[in-house]
Homo-oligomer: A and B are copies of this chain.
Amino acid sequence: MSARLTIALDAMGGDNAPTAVVRGANMALRRNPNLEFVFYGRESDVTPQLNRLKRLKKVARVVHTDDVVDSTERASVALRSGRKSSMRLAINAVKDGEADACVSAGNTGALMAMAKFVLKTVPGIDRPAMASFFPTLRGESVMLDLGANVACDANNLVEFTVMGNAFARSVLGLEAPTYGLLNVGSEEQKGHEELREAAALLRGVELPGHFYGFVEGDDIATGTTDVVVTDGFSGNIALKTAEGTVKLYTEFLRRTFRSSPLAQLGYLLAKPAMRKLRKRVDPRRYNGAVLLGLNGIAVKSHGGSDALGFAHAVSLAVDLARHKFIDTIRTDIDKLDRRTSAPAQAAAV
């Protein structure tokens, strides 16, 4: 039996808070019975909802705060004035060792800023990155950065690779993951300077698995590599483009089945199978982006997600905590540091 874990929840974050948060926690509890929850938020809003869910109530407690970070608030403002906010208290719980991970569906920028400020980056990591996994033809892959860093240099990309590699090993359970850099062509001379530089650096770094080189946009869904590394701008564009394309295809499919009585009948027959397909491409199943590179686990749920989506974000937090993911990153980054900083140290002597 796995050890009991405590998850801190920002009960007030997201469009459907606190309902989606409370019900999502309840769904996550059904899948992972060894969980405890601390809900941070308005007691008068949260407790009545908890009272309806007996099993959840037994393993949950509510820490009251009136303060909530607004979804439109600037990160810098939230950081200064949101010290008593539900989001901040959930992050603090991780820092203070009261929780093994925290989850919020609130303001992304504020969560990143607060998590970075409170939890601090792992020594040797310059900037944390947002990562998430997604379906491919071969199974599942992880991509990062998804938007934490709009501009990245070669060293940032190398650090992201180390973190993505650790994610693939711990969360996806791959012993020797393949990893690649997202680019506009697979040839060595393609793309931005920092990509070429990162590729050269990665060829000299020893990580478990195999460095594939450059991958392109269509390789993401093909699953050419288990880890796709990119700057936060391109990663965010790729992620949202894929989401939009799935929505478009689903709508076209719906229209197709409605286009003739025969097609409608066909749909009825194929319905149980189609339900499985819908589940497979359901973005809620891939909900939950994690801010990698911090001394603690902070997971961002999509702001618009419902209980099911939130439950998946909680499960991701549980996976990360259970696999001692941060220890893996610390060990790998240490190796990296020794390699790349060795000549500089020699020169300093």
Contact = CB atoms under 8 A, between A and B. Distances in A.
A284 to B, nearest CB: 15
A184 B244 contact: no
A215 to B, nearest CB: 10
Nearest to A224: B244
Given A191-B150, A272-B260, A273-B257, A184 B222 contact: no
A130 to B, nearest CB: 11
Given A192-B151, A241-B242, A276 B259 contact: yes
A280 interface: yes
A86 interface: no
Contacts of A245: 221, 241-242, 245-246, 249
Interface stretch (A28-36, A230-238, A306-314): A230-238
A108 B204 CA distance: 31
A217 interface: yes
Given A150-B191, A272-B263, A252 B280 contact: yes
B260 A244 contact: no
The bracket for how many chain A residues form the interface is: 35 or more
Contacts of A270: 256-257, 262-263, 265-267, 270
A44 B290 CA distance: 60
Nearest to A109: B185
B218 A240 contact: yes
15 contacts: A137-B251, A217-B244, A222-B244, A242-B245, A245-B249, A253-B253, A256-B274, A256-B277, A260-B272, A262-B270, A265-B266, A266-B267, A266-B268, A266-B269, A270-B270
User: SS class of chain A's interface: helix, strand, loop or mixed?
Assistant: helix
A243 interface: yes
A221 B281 CA distance: 16
A124 interface: no
A141 to B, nearest CB: 11
Nearest to A253: B277
A147 interface: yes
Given A184-B150, A253-B253, A241 B263 contact: no
B256 A262 contact: no
Contacts of A221: 241, 244-245, 247-248
A216 interface: yes
A271 B262 CA distance: 9
A266 to B, nearest CB: 3
